[in-house]
A and B are shown apart, each in its own frame.
Chain A
């Protein structure tokens, strides 16, 4: 498996995980009623990736909305990335937020406080 990709829906984000390049992107909305079901395949893919991780792993998160049900799953994804980081692949998480979206910036800062991986807060124009 070289690439793991899921197309977005009105309630779930677009996910693209380029395993060869070590780049994971999550974009769009994450507001499913059942987030565990949605995120499990990604957590599994990260598990597999961790056994042969690239020297550097870049993660781009650009969410417009996410619900509290997703927030725990996103933390699980970040925890996997934390262990990949500890395992020797230099992980960077780029957390994108729209310039007037303080709630999204704060949400990124919450994760930054919990997860031991370098975060970059990236402001994007609307």
Chain B
């Protein structure tokens, strides 16, 4: 039998406010954003915190949404599933996403994350403007700005991990910390 208490206890200890596992659809994103907005209103968060968390949530969720297809080649529907969690600590909101990625795509993604993590606040601003203005648009409209924007708005490094599942796919975990502005 499934051990619901074990899952509950684990979520409780990790201060998970909300978690979802499954296919990421446009309607789901709308619902999650609405739920989180209500939650933050109920928790009487200040508007600066709400805006930061909301903005970063949008980018994280849409990253997941746009890259859900990336690991499905020949692996069936299982790999269209992702996990998404929001944890609340005393001084921050942590957004955690996890999804499958083809091993051959790890190198490129890791290089991009490391590149963003190596930049200072000022450098991120310049980098954002140059990518914004480079005239390139990915088919999905993202244009490669998501990670830069997240790093810029949070002022934190992007924490990530690749867990190799087999010789085709790995599981990619991304942890974004949004420190609450009034507590900085």
A14-22, A29-37, A52-60, A83-91 - interface stretch: A29-37
Q: Which chain B residue has the least Cβ–Cβ distance from A70?
A: B141
Give the number of residues in A that approach B within 8 Å (Cβ atoms): 24
Q: From B51, B54, B132, B140, give the contact of A110 (CB < 8 A).
A: B132
Q: For the complex, is A123 an interface residue (Cβ under 8 Å from B)?
A: no
Q: For the complex, is B153 an interface residue (Cβ under 8 Å from A)?
A: yes
Across the interface, which residues of A come within 8 angstroms of B51, CB to CB? 65, 101, 103
User: Which has the most chain B C-beta neighbours within 10 Å: A34, A67, A71, A72?
Assistant: A72
Measured in the bound complex, the distance between the Cα atoms of B52 and A10 in whole Å is: 18
Q: For the complex, is B48 an interface residue (Cβ under 8 Å from A)?
A: yes
B2-10, B57-65, B85-93, B157-165 - interface stretch: B57-65
A10-B30 contact given A65-B58, A75-B133, A103-B153, CB 8 Å threshold: yes
Q: From A67, A113, A126, give the contact of B62 (CB < 8 A).
A: A67
Q: From B58, B59, B141, B145, give the contact of A34 (CB < 8 A).
A: B141
Measured in the bound complex, the distance between the Cα atoms of B28 and A11 in whole Å is: 13
Q: For the complex, is A44 an interface residue (Cβ under 8 Å from B)?
A: no
Across the interface, which residues of A come within 8 angstroms of B132, CB to CB? 71-72, 75, 110, 114
User: Which has the most chain A C-beta neighbours within 10 Å: B54, B132, B140?
Assistant: B132
> For chain B residues 114-131, which have a beta carbon within 8 Å of chain A?
125, 128-129
Q: Mark A99-126, 1 if CB is under 8 A from B, else 0.
A: 0110100100010011000000000001
Interface contacts beyond A36-B137, A68-B143, A100-B48: sample of 6 additional A-B pairs, CB < 8 Å, sorted by A: A31-B58, A68-B142, A71-B143, A72-B143, A100-B47, A114-B133
**What would 18 A/B residue contacts be, using CB atoms closer than 8 Å?**
A10-B30, A11-B30, A33-B62, A33-B66, A33-B141, A35-B141, A65-B55, A68-B142, A68-B145, A68-B148, A69-B141, A71-B132, A71-B145, A72-B143, A75-B133, A98-B47, A103-B52, A114-B129
Q: What residues of chain B have their CB less than 8 Å away from a CB belonging to chain A?
A: 26, 29-30, 33-34, 47-48, 51-52, 54-55, 58-59, 62, 65-66, 125, 128-129, 132-133, 137, 140-143, 145-146, 148-149, 153
